């Protein structure tokens, strides 16, 4: 399984990896991102920006997730870097605490930025990241498979029990081809997909404040949610087992071999690779009758301290995240802009017959994962040890109780070293 949290400190010596991708002129800036699903949209945004700012040229750099954090971490060692970087909230505390990020000024656009999105990037009264929008965890379904197996297509609401029942019906052989019900292998309870179900089940957070410090809180709700997701693989057998298929979950869904796929709202661009795929959004399910509280990510654009083109980078970053023109381009691509509700018509228009209104409906109840501990300086390391231990359970190499116990002990040791970065 792919690790979700990057241990950036390991990559300080990788400065040389950035050679050859840097801005070489006063009017040129470089833009680094890992999100290949947004590639077409990002290029359209860059073209629109350059049209209105002909004195600034933006070079697009798509870096695979597996090496992105190694490359970007080189700036902490004092190396040269991209002028504008994608940043996620897990890694932000480390970069900011190391002085690797420059404060930014959103100007008049700041008033248009949703407070919930921008708050995690504010430290000591200054803003260090401009959020790209709420990137929501969503349920996707294959409408053709639902119809073929006689499963009712959910449009307004459904429960976790109904999800499991549907996944069982959607797991079957079609000739020599195995069809799977759902992608449980991607839903560890430490990542946004599994955490969405954990919060929906009443989870309060996997790290809590205790006295003057922080301790792990892998409680009964965490264990219960984790077991429900593991059961999809090992008990209900509706999800691919580890090594059971050469394809990843998104590839199976893209190929029409999976009925339910839990991912982010950003995957819209991936599904366009198969024009025949009859996909749609489904409502986020309730757990035990409680209203769902799924996660959305708040990735942001940042300007590294090492950038030599900060003024031009600032203009590009501000335009990308606060301008009506940029938000409209994003919404028309079927993605959620920072002010998602204000661009409802454009968003729904881009996703006709996809039940996209369910995504907008879940946003008011959504949470930012680990929101209350975002300013712990070593949060990536803490989350990484949890990810490593849960991987052992998800791949069948240890029991879930043993994994949770080992994770709690490792997390506790790291949390004793945690420092809070600003306010």
The pLDDT assigned to 1 comes to 41
**Rounded distance between C-alpha atoms, residue 121 and residue 126, angstroms:** 8
pLDDT of residue 76: 64
pLDDT at 191 over 80: yes
| Predicted local distance difference test score (pLDDT) of residue 13 | 35
**Nearest alpha-carbon partner for 177 in 276, 279, 275, 255:** 255
pLDDT confidence of residue 373: 87
Mean pLDDT score across all residues of the chain = 90
pLDDT at position 423:
64
* Dist CA 155 CA 411 (whole Å): 40
Which pLDDT tens digit goes with each residue over 273-317? 999 999 999 999 999 888 899 999 899 999 999 998 999 999 999
d(CA 35, CA 200): 27
Residue 423 vs residue 362, higher pLDDT: 362
First to last CA, the chain: 35
What number is the average pLDDT over the span 50-63? 96
pTM of the prediction? 0.89
Average of per-residue pLDDT across 394-412: 97
CA distances from 3 to 103, 280, 391, 394 (A): 29, 28, 9, 13
Residue 126: its pLDDT value, please? 93
The structure tokens 């459904």 sit at 158
Residue 178: enclosing H or E segment and its boundaries?
Answer: strand 177-179
Residue 171 pLDDT more than 70?
A: yes
- Residue 252 has what pLDDT? 96
**Which position has the token pair 């970065």?**
421
pLDDT at residue 75 in the model = 67
What's the rounded Cα separation, in Å, for the pair 31 and 42?
Answer: 10
Determine the average pLDDT of the residues in 198-213: 93
Q: Model confidence over 307-361: pLDDT tens digits?
A: 989 999 999 999 999 999 999 999 999 999 999 999 999 999 999 999 999 999 9
Q: Which residue bears the tokens 């409408």?
A: 143
Instruction: Give percent above pLDDT 90 in the chain.
Output: 73
> Which pLDDT band, with edges at 50, 70 and 90, does 6 fall under?
very low
Q: Are strands 28-33 and 84-87 parallel, antiparallel or unpaired?
A: parallel
């Amino acid at each position: 399984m792919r690790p979700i949290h990057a241990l950036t400190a390991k990559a300080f010596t990788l400065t040389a990896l950035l050679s050859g991708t840097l801005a070489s002129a006063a009017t040129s800036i470089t833009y680094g991102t890992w999100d290949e699903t947004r590639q077409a949209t990002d290029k359209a945004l860059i073209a629109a920006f350059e049209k209105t700012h002909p004195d600034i040229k933006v070079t697009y750099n798509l870096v695979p997730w597996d090496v992105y954090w190694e490359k970007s971490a080189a700036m902490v060692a004092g190396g040269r870097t991209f002028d504008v970087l994608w940043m996620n909230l897990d890694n932000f505390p480390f970069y900011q605490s190391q002085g690797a990020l420059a404060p930014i000024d959103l100007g008049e656009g700041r008033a248009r930025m949703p407070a919930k999105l921008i708050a995690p990037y504010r430290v000591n009264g200054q803003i260090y990241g401009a959020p790209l929008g709420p990137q929501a965890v969503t349920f996707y379904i294959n409408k053709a498979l639902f119809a073929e197996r006689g499963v009712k297509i959910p449009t307004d609401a459904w429960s976790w029990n109904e999800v499991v029942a549907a996944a069982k019906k959607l797991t079957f052989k079609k000739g020599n081809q195995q069809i799977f019900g759902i992608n449980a292998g991607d839903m560890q309870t430490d990542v946004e997909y599994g955490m969405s179900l954990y919060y929906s089940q009443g989870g309060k957070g996997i790290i809590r404040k205790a006295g003057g410090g922080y301790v792990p809180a892998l409680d009964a709700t965490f264990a219960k949610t984790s077991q429900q997701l593991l059961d999809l693989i090992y008990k209900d057998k509706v999800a691919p087992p580890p090594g059971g298929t050469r394809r990843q979950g998104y590839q199976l869904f893209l190929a029409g071999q999976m009925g339910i796929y839990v991912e982010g709202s950003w995957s819209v661009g991936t599904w366009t690779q198969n024009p025949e795929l009859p996909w749609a959004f489904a409502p986020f399910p309730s757990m035990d009758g409680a209203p769902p509280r799924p996660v959305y990510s708040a990735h942001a654009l940042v300007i590294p301290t090492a950038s030599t083109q900060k003024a031009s980078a600032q203009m590009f970053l501000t335009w990308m995240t606060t301008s009506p023109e940029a938000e409209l381009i994003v919404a028309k691509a079927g993605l959620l802009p920072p002010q998602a509700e204000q661009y409802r018509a454009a968003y729904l228009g881009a996703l006709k017959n996809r039940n996209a209104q369910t995504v907008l409906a879940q946003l008011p109840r959504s949470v930012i994962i680990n929101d209350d501990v975002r300013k712990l300086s070593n949060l990536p390391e803490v989350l990484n040890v949890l990810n490593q231990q849960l991987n052992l359970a998800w791949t069948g190499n240890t029991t879930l109780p043993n994994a949770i116990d080992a994770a709690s002990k490792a997390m506790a040791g790291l949390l004793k070293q945690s420092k809070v970065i600003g306010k």
